[in-house]
Amino acid sequence: MRTLIRNGTVINAGGTLRADVLVEGEKISAITAPGVIETADAYIEADDKYVLPGGIDAHTHMEMPFGGTFSADTFFTGTRAAAWGGTTTIIDFAVQAKGTSLLSTLDKWHEKADGHCAVDYGFHMIVSDVNDQSLKEMESCIDAGVNSFKMFMAYPGVFYATDGEILRAMQKAAGTGATVMMHAENGIAIDELVAQAIAEGRTDPVEHGLTRPPELEGEATSRAIQLARVTGAPLYIVHLSASQALAAVAAARNDGQNVFAETCPQYLYLSIEDLAKPDFEGSKYVASPPLRPKEHQADLWRGLRTNDLSVVSTDHCPFCFKDQKELGRGDFSKIPNGIPGVEHRMDLLHQGVVAGEITLQRWVEVTSATPARMFGLYPRKGVIAPGADADIVVYDPAVRQTLGVATHHMAVDYSAYEGMSITGGVSTVLSRGSVVISDGEFHGHEGHGRFLSRELSQYLV
Ligand code: URP
Ligand code: ZN
Ligand code: ZN
Ligand code: ZN
């Protein structure tokens, strides 16, 4: 099957050109000047549209266990929603429960995801039990194509790792080329502030933000950076939300340290004012790190321009308002943490292009090319080039849409972006050569997505 995408503006991280893109089977086979190839089996007209490499969301949580419940998207509904929004690869997190092994955890996540995803997927591993066996099993995970390990400085008693445990895992990473991903918040201090708030009867969702001040993200980020420096391990800070944390990352990078960071659309567009919405509506915006005062947003956009923030992922972690977020009525600390967003990342970052915050090429770089390089998928993914997987988004920059629960495809009963007006939208999406979205319809199927055994990072070794 030969599909010709005609006369679009092809946007790669490295540049833009007017071209035709030929897809043969699952791969891109040629990029030519418009009109050079005259015949194909099928045609996609891309006049006045952008042709981008499919988005790569390197941070999602489908069916994730949290506080006795599970995030609401399955691997099928979540990857289908991703496709709707122009994301053709997700990297989700397998979650080691304390007392279990990394390899049994990996088996469990394969059982959840294999045969169910609508687009391609990979895994990171959350390490919540650092011991000799886990450290040894990190090597087997790497051999199985899972070479990035998330650790937590937050959530004492659940995922939390001590500095000593982090140090040991970083030593292992330094010797193997694995990537340590850090949830950098000082969970010990935060838990004290949370206990004080509850004891004083301050139980509303906004307290979630007030008890997790940005200084404690900055402090943890600095500490993670120092631990990485001592061990020689490279470091990737996940879901960076605060100016203080960004300053720590920028200083380390200026000093030549191999430190990278991602931010998420919610930190660029939403704020602690959303957490303060009345009638428990604020619970819809509870995630960790929390939404910050608006002043942080300009710094994050600047970080995206200067490359101190290299990746935008969603941290998609949907919990329904009804019955899930509501678990925390009367005690904000029991609200499941997470915000839905896998469907909207490409559109929301395109608003950054429209607003003049980032260029078109940078849009593609932070949402596709760099996550592909960072997580061992490049040049199979993350680029429109001959030989790459035909994961392609045809994007209409002129169309207008309004985000909301009535039109989104995520399996969650609210939208964090309800009523937000967006310029631009996905027109056609191909996943490995198959059209999965076109003409406002999903044409893919459960099980089309394949597991991606990833190479080591191109940046972090
Ligand atoms: O609140 C969040 N971010 N939930 C998902 C888990 C995590 O820490 O990434
Ligand atoms: Zn986290
Ligand atoms: Zn997360
Ligand atoms: Zn298929």
SS3 at position 152: strand
| ipTM of the modeled complex | 0.96
How wide is the angle at C-alpha 443 spanned by C-alphas 440 and 449, nearest 5°?
125
- The pLDDT score that the predictor gives to residue 12 is 98
How wide is the angle at C-alpha 378 spanned by C-alphas 304 and 305, nearest 5°?
10
> Is any ligand 1 atom within 6 A of the Cβ of residue 389?
no
pTM over the 0.95 mark: yes
Interacting residues of 406 by C-beta distance below 8 A, sequence separation 6+: none
- The CA-based diameter of the chain, rounded to the nearest angstrom, is 73
Question: Residues 216, 221, 224, 225: is their CA dihedral positive or negative?
Answer: negative
For the chain, give the percent of residues with pLDDT over 90.
98
Is 416:340 a contact under the CB 8 Å cutoff? Answer: yes
- The pLDDT score that the predictor gives to residue 240 is 99
Q: How far is the CA of 45 from the centre of ligand 3 (A)?
A: 37
Average pLDDT score over residue span 168-180: 95
Task: Write out pLDDT tens, residues 103-161.
Answer: 999 999 999 999 999 999 999 999 999 999 999 999 999 999 999 999 999 999 999 99
Task: Write out pLDDT tens, residues 347-370.
Answer: 999 999 999 999 999 999 999 999
Q: How far is the CA of 239 from the centre of ligand 2 (A)?
A: 7
- The pLDDT score that the predictor gives to residue 69 is 94
Residue 181 has pLDDT above 90, yes or no: yes
Cα–Cα dist 177/432, whole Å: 28
Q: In this structure, which topology does domain 54-375 adopt according to CATH?
A: TIM Barrel (3.20.20)
Q: Does domain 2-52+385-442 have CATH number 2.40.50.100?
A: no
> Is any ligand 1 atom within 6 A of the Cβ of residue 340?
no
> Is any ligand 1 atom within 6 A of the Cβ of residue 287?
yes
Task: Write out pLDDT tens, residues 329-347.
Answer: 999 999 999 999 999 999 9
Which amino acid residue places its CA nearest to atom 1 of ligand 1? 287
The residue assigned the tokens 């935008």 is: 312
Task: Write out pLDDT tens, residues 282-301.
Answer: 999 999 999 999 999 999 99
Q: How far is the CA of 127 from the centre of ligand 1 (A)?
A: 14
Residue 436 has pLDDT above 70, yes or no: yes
Which atom of ligand 1 sits closest to the CA of residue 152?
8
Residue 461 has pLDDT above 80, yes or no: no
Domain boundary assignment for the chain? 2-52+385-442, 54-375
Which amino acid residue places its CA nearest to atom 9 of ligand 1? 315
Q: How far is the CA of 297 from the centre of ligand 1 (A)?
A: 19
Average pLDDT score over residue span 247-253: 98
Q: Which ligand is in closest contact with the Cα of 317?
A: 1
Q: Let me know if the fold of 2-52+385-442 is the same as that of 54-375.
A: no
> Is any ligand 1 atom within 6 A of the Cβ of residue 266?
no
DSSP state letters, 312-343: E---B----TTTTGGGGTT-GGGSPP-B--TT
- The pLDDT score that the predictor gives to residue 206 is 98
